[in-house]
Amino acid sequence: MSKAHFGLVGLGVMGENLVLNAERNGFSSVVYNRTFSKTESFLSGRGAGKSISGARDLKEFVDSLERPRRILLMVKAGGATDNVINQIAPLLEEGDLLIDGGNALFSDTERRVKELESKSFGYIGMGVSGGAKGALEGPSMMPGGTKASYDAVEALLSKMAAQVEDGPCVTYIGPGGSGHFVKTVHNGIEYGIEQILAEAYDLMKRTCGMNCDAIADVFRHWNATEELCSYLVEITEICLRTKDPIDGSDVVEKIMDKAGQKGTGLWTVISALELGASVPTIYASLNARVMSSMKSQRTKAQSILKEPSAFSFDLGDISTGMSPVMDAVVLSTIASYAQGMDLLLLASKEYEYDFHMPSIAQIWKGGCIIRSKLLKRIQNAYNNDNQLSNLLVDPWFASQVQRRLPGLSKVVSCAAQAGIPVPCFSSTLDYINSYRTARLPQNLVQAMRDCFGSHTYERVDKEGSFHTNWLD
Ligand code: 6PG
């Protein structure tokens, strides 16, 4: 029997769709799942009639693959990934390649690359984005590891990836855990944009009394603009229009207002804190999920901490979409990307990942959850300057800030008067206002630190380190 071109371990939603994608692109496949019954039901269901076979154990799996073997692991991040690697590693031979396509912590991938590359087979840590549909039709893929390992799977990944006008949505990201780092930051931006769109929905509902269909119309309008045309805006419209088949009411209004998380947004914020990147919009989205989970406390507090009694709200003609709310959404979305890209640049220096920023923007233009028209502008900005200090100072993005800052300010101040939380909008406003302020009040913070702890300070009028006897 001829050997398969490609092997997949882990028949979860993503694994199933990725193996169907590989097979459709001409790579006969073999699959292995810890429980064989799952393999059987896949092979008799979606995998039926295709060049896909199943293996009962890892030995049979490895033996069914042509050499060098190309094996994609789609198992739970953390201990489960280590377990599978420990079981499969002794069966692999020189030149074989393991690809971890889960949402792994980048430092775990760093460790695995070091351990496994020394055993003479290749290891790639690859971020995969796009959900089930993306995995099947073409995801965005962010592979990191040695360049030689990437070269060995480039043909396979290029065929499987989403295609945009300037090529497939996959590229060699860099060494070690860089692929998973980029995917983590992708998810941080994803958290930001999700929360931004939720804040816009909340404002339209609570201040203008708009129902889900009317709000969906605004999202549809936004999706037709260059600034907001994106996958997340598109699916937000769909979510808002979807009705409960039982009673025809809006499904969204029946969903409990508690958002969970699997860790990548948290890792983005932890990395930002460690590297000294300023990511307030992304952090606000993470904190909004944390706050949302405190449902019973919030419910109790609502009866104690009353909202402002009367407020007026003038947000322009929201029904056309071209209102201050759109300004707030555009600038906060830009801020999420800007903060994520800034974090990538810092990581590139600190971990010697040597990111090619335009390529990262390019592979996010299709397939992934944060795909949007803005990414073309982001790609252009970094093509003009790969070390651009911040997207906000690129001429096109600066003109957006110039034009939309009054709208964002209005939304944040109106929301504050109405007592409506807009964490991403208000963090973005502070972020932009801080970033464009040449002199911040940290001179006084420095004075306090020096006063109580002799921490010293720098001066604006001469070089050196200074201390004042403040309390004498
Ligand atoms: C993607 C997504 C995906 C992620 C989910 C869940 O790019 O396809 O980022 O990888 O796991 O969106 O993330 P949370 O449960 O943390 O929201």
pLDDT at 189: 98
Residue nearest atom 14 in ligand 1 by C-alpha distance: 261
Q: pLDDT, tens digit, for every residue of 189-232?
A: 999 999 999 999 999 999 889 999 999 999 999 999 999 999 99
Q: If phi over 0 gives left and psi between -120 and 50 gives alpha, with beta otherwise, what is residue 63? A: alpha
For residue 100, give the H/E element and its range: strand 97-100
Cβ–ligand 1 distance for 271 under 6 Å, the answer no
- The token pair at 23 is 């097979």
- The token pair at 326 is 């759109």
Q: Which atom of ligand 1 is nearest to the CA of 264?
A: 16
Q: Measured between alpha carbons, how far is 9 from 36 in angstroms, rounded to an integer?
A: 12
**pLDDT surpasses 90 at 341:** yes
Q: Which atom of ligand 1 is nearest to the CA of 289?
A: 17
User: Are 266 and 286 in contact, with CB atoms under 8 Å apart?
Assistant: yes
pLDDT at 282: 98
Q: Which atom of ligand 1 is nearest to the CA of 369?
A: 7
Share of the chain above pLDDT 70, in %: 99
Q: Count how many residues are written for the chain.
A: 472
Cβ–ligand 1 distance for 130 under 6 Å, the answer yes
Q: Which atom of ligand 1 is nearest to the CA of 131?
A: 8
User: Are 363 and 356 in contact, with CB atoms under 8 Å apart?
Assistant: no
233: nearest Cα among 223, 221, 218, 241: 223
CA of 342 to the centre of ligand 1 (A): 21
Cβ–ligand 1 distance for 369 under 6 Å, the answer yes
Identity of the residue numbered 225:
T
- The token pair at 319 is 């029904």
Bridge partners of 223, per DSSP, are: none
Catalytic residues: 183, 190
Mean pLDDT for the stretch of residues 100-122 = 91
Exposure of 105 by Cβ count < 10 A (0-12 exposed, 13-18 middle, 19+ buried)? buried
* pLDDT band of 116, cuts 50, 70, 90: confident
Share of the chain above pLDDT 90, in %: 92
Q: Measured between alpha carbons, how far is 396 from 381 in angstroms, rounded to an integer?
A: 8
User: Residues with Cβ < 8 Å from 405, sequence gap 6 or more?
Assistant: 327, 331, 432
Residue nearest atom 2 in ligand 1 by C-alpha distance: 129
**pLDDT surpasses 90 at 170:** yes
Q: pLDDT, tens digit, for every residue of 223-275?
A: 999 999 999 999 999 999 999 999 999 999 999 999 999 999 999 999 999 99
Cβ–ligand 1 distance for 261 under 6 Å, the answer yes
Mean pLDDT for the stretch of residues 98-104 = 97
- The token pair at 226 is 């260059």
For residue 215, give the H/E element and its range: helix 212-223
Q: Measured between alpha carbons, how far is 208 from 329 in angstroms, rounded to an integer?
A: 17
CATH number listed for the domain at residues 183-435: 1.10.1040.10
**pLDDT surpasses 90 at 1:** no
Summary count for the chain: helices (H), strands (E): 19, 9
Cα distance between the two ends of the chain: 89
Q: Measured between alpha carbons, how far is 381 from 383 in angstroms, rounded to an integer?
A: 5
Half-sphere exposure of 266 (CA within 13 A, CB side): 9
For residue 53, give the H/E element and its range: strand 52-55
- The token pair at 471 is 């309390």
pLDDT at 316: 77
Mean pLDDT for the stretch of residues 133-142 = 98
- The token pair at 104 is 């792994």
- The token pair at 196 is 């931004």
Q: Which atom of ligand 1 is nearest to the CA of 260?
A: 15
CA of 229 to the centre of ligand 1 (A): 20
Question: In terms of CATH architecture, what is 6-176?
Answer: 3-Layer(aba) Sandwich (3.40)
* pLDDT band of 55, cuts 50, 70, 90: very high
Taking the model in full, what pTM does it have?
0.97
**pLDDT surpasses 80 at 315:** no
Whole-number average pLDDT of the chain: 96
**pLDDT surpasses 80 at 119:** no
Q: Measured between alpha carbons, how far is 21 from 25 in angstroms, rounded to an integer?
A: 6
Going through 105-197 in order, the beta strands assigned E by DSSP cover: 122-129, 140-144, 163-164, 167-168
Residue to mutate (ligand 1; options 106, 136, 187, 364; most atoms within 8 A of CB): 187
pLDDT at 219: 97
CA of 187 to the centre of ligand 1 (A): 6
- The pair phi, psi for residue 205, each rounded to 5°, is -70, -45
CATH number listed for the domain at residues 442-472: 1.20.5.320
CA of 129 to the centre of ligand 1 (A): 8
Cβ–ligand 1 distance for 129 under 6 Å, the answer yes
Identity of the residue numbered 128:
V
DSSP result, 55-78: ESSHHHHHHTBPSSPEEEE---TT
Residue nearest atom 6 in ligand 1 by C-alpha distance: 262
Residue to mutate (ligand 1; options 264, 286, 370; most atoms within 8 A of CB): 264
Query: What are the domain boundaries of the chain?
Result: 6-176, 183-435, 442-472
Q: pLDDT, tens digit, for every residue of 382-434?
A: 999 988 999 999 999 999 999 999 999 999 999 999 999 999 999 999 999 99
